[in-house]
């Protein structure tokens, strides 16, 4: 296999399909392996460039193959799909990966470290717990509404439930009260788990130099800083601040033709979790914008006089993303005087 230059690897849970190309792009290898035999084969293979889609298990496998001496690249699935020809099967997917990787403008996903994956796992678990708590709260609202009790959609409404359950005028069945009490205990348990994860994330970010620098940016606290460290890392994979903002879907979609430029709503591409956090952070900045005397405050106040607050929040999230790129890529802290 000395003439093997590029290896496309289609990842499955148990089976893996390989297509190998030489320097001229001709197919010289076509094999299928299970997980154990794949590692044995690639450990003995002469070092080459291995490309696979960024998906579940790809980051671990990439680190493993790098330890074998190979050059590994991860490519986003949406960049592979246009090169799938004919009916879809695993070998055709591997061929499409090779074809996409051979393009001169191919863009790749940074390989995550073990620490980044652990942080990402914490965030996914926290997000799942928050959704579970919201679902439980909605159940309580729905059950009480069936008995003529309409609670306002606020956090303070949860504090009134014990008083409602003890009120004889509510005429609630005893068994229903037991169900509601059980759901309230579930909410308290989930809240304690979320707080535990929050404390763990806060401690990890405080001990990280990049995390501390990220928290110097307005609107970015431990949760957002930790999520950025988990999914972005050092930001060296992005050529510019605009490329980073575009990867998060915070730039306008474009539908231009005939020399006429038409800009639409934000593209909403990339990681929606990071995009959501940055928009929430921008809204937190806007709440206290009257107290900011720096260039960022002046810029936001000027936008608010001309645009809807939702548009301003997205524009500010875009600017925060660009500042994040500068902080991570250049190793500096946020300087309010340099923000324009």
Q: Is 93 exposed, middle or buried (0-12, 13-18, 19+ CB in 10 A)?
A: buried
List, for residues 197-239, the tens digit of each pLDDT value: 999 999 999 998 999 999 999 999 999 999 999 998 778 888 8
Q: What is the pLDDT of residue 266?
A: 86
List, for residues 225-283, the tens digit of each pLDDT value: 999 999 987 788 888 999 999 999 998 888 888 888 888 888 888 889 999 999 999 99
At 276, is the secondary structure helix, strand, or coil?
helix
> Domain spanning 6-109: which CATH class is it, in words?
alpha beta
Alpha-carbon distance of 180 to 201, in angstroms, equals 32
Alpha-carbon distance of 329 to 327, in angstroms, equals 6
3-state secondary structure 189-241: HHHHHHHHHHHHHHHHHHCCHHHHHHCCCCCCCHHHHHHHHHHCCCCCCCCCH
User: Which comes out higher in pLDDT, residue 70 or 233?
Assistant: 70
| Percent of the chain residues topping a pLDDT of 90 | 64
pLDDT tier at 339, thresholds 50, 70, 90: low
Determine if residue 86 is left, alpha or beta; phi over 0 gives left, psi from -120 to 50 gives alpha, anything else beta.
Answer: left
Mean pLDDT of the chain: 90
Q: What is the pLDDT of residue 146?
A: 92
List, for residues 135-161, the tens digit of each pLDDT value: 999 999 999 999 988 888 887 788 888
pLDDT tier at 338, thresholds 50, 70, 90: low
- Compute the average pLDDT of residues 100-125: 91
Contact by Cβ (8 Å): 83, 100: yes
Q: What is the pLDDT of residue 170?
A: 79
Q: What is the pLDDT of residue 1?
A: 55
**Is it the case that residue 296 has pLDDT exceeding 80?**
yes
Q: What is the pLDDT of residue 156?
A: 79
All CATH 3.30.420.10 domain ranges of the chain, comma separated, are 6-109
**Is it the case that residue 51 has pLDDT exceeding 80?**
yes
Rounded to two decimals, the pTM is 0.85
**Is it the case that residue 336 has pLDDT exceeding 80?**
no
| Percent of the chain residues topping a pLDDT of 70 | 98
List, for residues 167-206, the tens digit of each pLDDT value: 888 788 999 999 999 999 999 999 999 999 999 999 999 9
Q: CB atoms < 10 A from the CB of 118, how many?
A: 12
């Amino acid at each position: 296999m000395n003439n093997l230059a590029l290896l496309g690897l289609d990842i499955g849970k148990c089976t893996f399909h390989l297509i190998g190309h030489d320097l001229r792009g001709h197919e010289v290898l076509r094999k299928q392996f299970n997980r154990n035999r794949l590692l044995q084969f690639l450990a003995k293979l002469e070092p080459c460039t291995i490309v696979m889609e960024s998906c579940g298990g790809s980051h671990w496998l990439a680190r493993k193959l790098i330890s074998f001496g190979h050059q590994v690249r991860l490519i986003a699935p949406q960049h592979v799909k246009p090169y799938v020809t004919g009916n879809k099967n695993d070998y055709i997917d591997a061929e499409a990966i090779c074809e996409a990787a051979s393009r001169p403008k191919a863009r790749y996903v940074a390989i995550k470290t073990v620490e980044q994956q652990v942080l990402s796992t914490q965030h996914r678990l926290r997000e799942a717990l928050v959704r579970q708590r919201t679902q439980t709260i909605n159940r309580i609202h729905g059950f009480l509404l069936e008995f003529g009790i309409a609670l306002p959609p606020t956090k303070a409404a949860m504090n009134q439930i014990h008083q409602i359950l003890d009120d004889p005028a509510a005429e609630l069945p005893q068994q229903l009260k037991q169900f509601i009490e059980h759901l309230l205990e579930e909410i308290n348990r989930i809240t304690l788990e979320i707080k535990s994860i929050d404390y763990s994330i806060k401690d990890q970010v405080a001990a990280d130099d990049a995390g501390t620098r990220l928290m110097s940016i307005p609107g970015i606290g431990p949760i957002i800083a930790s999520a950025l460290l988990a999914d972005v890392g050092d930001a060296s994979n992005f050529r510019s601040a605009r490329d980073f903002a575009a990867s998060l879907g915070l730039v306008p979609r474009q539908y231009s033709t005939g020399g006429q430029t038409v800009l639409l709503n934000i593209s909403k591409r990339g990681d929606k979790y990071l995009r959501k956090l940055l928009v929430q952070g921008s809204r937190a900045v806007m709440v206290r914008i009257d107290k900011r005397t720096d260039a960022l405050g002046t810029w936001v106040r000027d936008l608010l006089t001309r645009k809807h607050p939702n548009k301003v929040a997205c524009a500010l999230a875009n600017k925060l993303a660009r500042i994040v790129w500068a902080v991570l890529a250049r190793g500096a802290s946020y300087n309010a005087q340099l923000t324009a």
